[in-house]
Amino acid sequence: MRKDDAVAKSIREPACIIPVMGQYDVVVLGGGPAGIGAAVAAARAKAKVLLVEQTGCMGGMSTSGMVPVFAPLGHTDRPAIAGIIQEVIDRLKALDGLGRNDDTMAWIPIDLEKLKFVFDQMVAQAGAKVLFFTQFAGVRKRGRRVSHVILQNKSGRQAVAAKMFIDATGDADVAAAAGVPFEKGDSNGRTQPVGVCYTATGIDLPVYREFIKSIGSDRVGWWLHLQESGAIPAIPKAEYRGVYPFEVTPCSVGVNFAHIFEVDACDARDLSRAVLAGRKMAHSYIDYARKNIPGMKNARIVATASLAGVRESRRIEGRGRLTIDDFKNARHHADDIACYDYPIDVHNATPSRKDIRKFQNDFDHLVMAPGKTYGIPFSCLLPRTLDNLAVAGRCLSADREMHGSVRVMPACFAMGQAAGQATAIAAKRNVPLYKVDIRDLQKKLSSAGVRLT
Ligand SMILES: Cc1cc2nc3c(=O)[nH]c(=O)nc-3n(C[C@H](O)[C@H](O)[C@H](O)COP(=O)(O)OP(=O)(O)OC[C@H]3O[C@@H](n4cnc5c(N)ncnc54)[C@H](O)[C@@H]3O)c2cc1C
């Protein structure tokens, strides 16, 4: 090494020739709820599909992120959203993989190990190939088309060619690398806080729940008081927050935990800070709770999430854009591929009481009237600048407020299902995604159990 090289701020990576490891109809990047919906739907439509995932299991936030519950499928007896998400729930139920939820029936607690197994089976039975431990690393473009994605894993660097690609990375990694314009967070670039969920055992749940109820409606104030009084150690740029514990198996609970602020989910250093902080907070809270909180004497953490719980990062600029106005007016569109009614759920972006109050004032009342839904248009999954890339999941084209509703898992499965079905059609007919016959797409989705109204 030359002496100058050691202090250089950047270096030039030598150009190299990399092998093309395969040719597919559809390649799905990211195996979270959106990626699973996409791979299953595309493979069932007879496309040759590869799903690429950076971890060793599918599920994204629902497994590696340890988010313990699926959001409700709807607010009335007739679910607003259906299709592959319903099949996932039915399969989990058949394996005794749904947790018990006596208090808030509409939320669906999940046994994440059984869920991993359900995803493995669904994707394999549909006929899609899976490549784990592999990160998306770049794209090769020709005009308005992506010709290859570049992947990095233990085998080195490889390219994969496909007719169609689906970006289900949650962070729009593929779209961003392909030059698609995007937004991130609020007008100052601030995003919702990151969480680190965990599973615990040894909790006397009825007693603990009674205690939580006894705190009253100001639970946020209770958590703030715990850290401000020094009962649990304060962590910089973070606040303790534990949403209701869900019984995910007969002997364990899953907790949606912590708010870690100023995390750019597209920056590995920020993500590292977030998981380090979140793990520390989970252990600090359980240590405190064992000594001080009814029902928690024997509590013990079983596992903390290996993926940081990212609520918000990039949202692409699409051909269409879902807005808060669509929510307020329960609007449907000619190209809807699903519908939903989950409330606007945006968490405070800074750890201040003022900000928490502002978020509560701005968003807490934004709930759909029973029986009303909004539609999710296909155009929100299509980047403006590319013809053979769809996005699915929390990186869709939407304004920040609306994103607060459509980011939850049932909607992500539905977007994935639509993107998978549409790319299979486009690959077969050799047309750009925006030229897919929307009636044909909707008909196929309806036959697969998706609700469009
Ligand atoms: C703390 C927290 C609590 C939540 N609570 C709930 C809840 O209670 N109920 C609910 O329904 N929703 C909840 N949500 C929202 C929901 O979990 C997510 O918005 C949803 O999982 C997004 O799905 P997705 O498929 O778009 O992305 P993700 O679930 O994030 O999946 C993305 C996948 O892509 C992979 N990936 C990412 N980048 C790359 C890359 N470069 N190369 C290869 N693979 C890559 C990841 O490993 C991951 O598997 C919560 C979210 C958080 C963070």
| Residue ranges per structural domain of the chain | 20-185+313-447, 198-304
Estimate the share of the chain in helix, then strand, then coil, as percent rounded to the nearest 5: 35, 25, 40
Per-residue confidence at 357, pLDDT binned at 50, 70, 90?
Answer: confident
Q: Measure the CA angle with vertex 363, ends 361 and 366; round to 5°.
A: 120
As a whole number of Å, the end-to-end CA separation of the chain is: 64
Q: Is the CB of 313 under 6 A from ligand 1?
A: no
* pLDDT score for 75: 83
> Nearest 10 degrees: CA dihedral of 379, 380, 386, 390?
-100
Model pTM above 0.75:
yes
Q: Is the CB of 254 under 6 A from ligand 1?
A: no
Q: Kindly give the residue spans of alpha helices, DSSP state H, lying in 172-245.
A: 173-177, 205-214, 219-228
Between the CA of 169 and the centroid of ligand 1 the distance, in Å, is 8
53 Cα to the center of ligand 1, angstroms: 12
Q: How far is the CA of 65 from the centre of ligand 1 (A)?
A: 7
Distance (Å) from CA 170 to ligand 1 centroid: 6
What is the distance in A from the centroid of ligand 1 to the CA of 112? 14
Q: Report the nearest-CA residue for atom 20 of ligand 1.
A: 409
pLDDT, tens digit, 9 for 90 and up, residues 416-444: 999 999 999 999 999 999 999 999 999 99
Q: What is the pLDDT of residue 209?
A: 87
CA 67, CA 87: separation in Å to the nearest integer? 19
Contact yes or no for 374/168 (Cβ under 8 A): no
In this structure, which residue's CA is closest to atom 21 in ligand 1? Answer: 61
Q: From the alpha carbon of 53, which atom of ligand 1 is closest?
A: 44
Query: Taken in order 284, 289, 290, 295, is the CA torsion positive or negative?
Result: negative
Tens-place pLDDT, residues 232-282: 999 999 999 887 789 999 999 999 999 999 999 999 999 999 999 999 999
Position 348 scores a pLDDT of 87
Q: Which residue would you say has higher pLDDT here, 217 or 428?
A: 428
Residue 210 CA, distance from chain mean position: 31
Helix (H, G, I), strand (E, B), or coil: what is residue 96?
A: coil
Q: Which atom of ligand 1 is found nearest the CA of 307?
A: 47
State which ligand 1 atom lies nearest to the alpha carbon of 174. 41
The strand pairing partners of 109, in sequence order, are 69
Tell me the C-alpha distance between 247 and 253, whole Å: 4
What length does the chain have?
453
33, 73 Cβ separation under 8 angstroms: no
The atom number, within ligand 1, closest to the CA of 394 reads: 26
Find out whether 309 and 243 touch, Cβ atoms under 8 Å.
no
Q: What's the 2 CA to ligand 1 centre distance in angstroms?
A: 43
Mean pLDDT along residues 386-398: 98
Residue 74: which of 372, 403, 418 has the closest Cα?
A: 372
Read off the pLDDT of each residue in 97-124 and give the average, rounded to a whole number: 89
- Which CATH architecture fits 20-185+313-447? 3-Layer(bba) Sandwich (3.50)
DSSP 409-422: HHHHHHHHHHHHHH
